[in-house]
Amino acid sequence: MGQFIIVGCDLHARNMLVKYAVDREKPLKRSLRNTRRGRQTLVRMLRRLSEDAGGAQVVFAYEASSLGFTLYDELTAAGITCHVLAPTKIPRSWKHRLSKTDERDAQLIFEMLRAHLLAGNELPTVWVPDRQTRDDREVTRARIDVGQKLTRVKCQIQSLLKRNGVSRPTLVPKPWSKRFLAWLDALVGGPELGPYASVWLSSLLGQLRALETEKAYLDEHVAALARRERYAAQVEAMTQWRGVGEFVAVAFAAELGDPERFSNRREVASFFGLVPQSDESGEGSDRKGHITRQGSGRVRRLLCQAAHAWIRWNPLVRSRYERLVARNPKKKKIAVVAMMRRLCIRLWHAACDARRAAAACREGEE
């Protein structure tokens, strides 16, 4: 009787290649379509293998990707143990990178999983959020995406004006005010711009107004999400920090997921890619490089904006930032990243405290 049926999978949008074996046996290969029907065929195949092996436990592993966790959900629902691996934490040799194939990738995942099950080696898994957390992230990510598109369109409008030598008149108080937008509308078809430049400006203004409408629509849903019991206490605690608004707080909470799954501040900073790279070999000292930039780049952008506001409005934070800048005036970004990491940890502590307080309150009511 086999102890485990080990399955390593190289997953793609249209197909998946699996390598499977019972314990230490030689692995077999099978290719399937990555469709609902194909995944159901995979589940039936694994159940049949388990029955043939006397009820051996099926353990499945594949790499995380932009395809989400659909395969994980379906396998878990079928009673199959599934691990989702972090691609950035899987060591690959230079030779492997030069001769990368789906079969070699599946074989590598299979071997890592077998070493984990039979020898106790560490498996570089990712935390799989529940379905509600995944759904909550969709609206915050959509709002971030719309904000980035708005910034891009505004830059395109400014570049168009510069290319055509058009400057903002002194009577217009500031960019992107109602008076500024009315002036832009008046430029369309006017003598300052050529006919096709006017067409391009008109198109950009249409995109700008459409994105502003989308932004307002998503802001309503983000505000509703922030008021839900799932996030209300955490958002209220995090917004106590000057510079952290409701949107930053709810986006941070959604990407963070369960804050208590982190045991210390180093794990939180590493999760968001705010720890330095390390390079140590032999007798060489441990050299620190740029931050790893792993994890959510969306949250890092939000933390950067919030950190600048935090520095501006908090005298103690500003003095600490200035001391860091004084050490290396030519690299102010290092000081900004340090404050981002500090703010990230503060928000994590606030989320943990709020979650514990809310849980204690519910227990008291019961």
- Which pLDDT score is estimated for 1? 43
Q: Are 58 and 7 in contact (CB under 8 A)?
A: yes
- Which pLDDT score is estimated for 283? 61
Query: Mean pLDDT, to the nearest integer, of 100-119?
Result: 94
Give the tokens for residue 49. 């293998």
> How sure is the predictor about 290, in pLDDT bands with cuts at 50, 70 and 90?
confident
- Which pLDDT score is estimated for 284? 60
Identify which of 153, 63, 129 has the alpha carbon closest to the alpha carbon of residue 296: 129
| Domains in the chain: boundaries | 4-119, 131-227, 232-278+290-365
- Total Cβ atoms within 10 A of residue 172: 14
Residues 22-50: tens digit of each pLDDT:
999 999 999 999 999 999 999 999 999 99
Residue 170 predicted with pLDDT over 90: no
Rounded Cα gap, residues 21 and 43, in angstroms: 15
- Which pLDDT score is estimated for 278? 79
Of 85 and 168, the one with more pLDDT: 85
Buried b (16+ CB within 10 A) or exposed e, 236-261: ebbbebebbbbbbbbbbbbbbbebee
Residues 181-233: tens digit of each pLDDT:
999 999 999 999 999 999 999 999 999 999 999 999 999 999 999 999 999 99
Identify which of 165, 74, 89 has the alpha carbon closest to the alpha carbon of residue 127: 89
> How sure is the predictor about 266, in pLDDT bands with cuts at 50, 70 and 90?
very high
In CATH, the number for domain 4-119 is: 3.30.420.40
Query: Mean pLDDT, to the nearest integer, of 133-162?
Result: 96
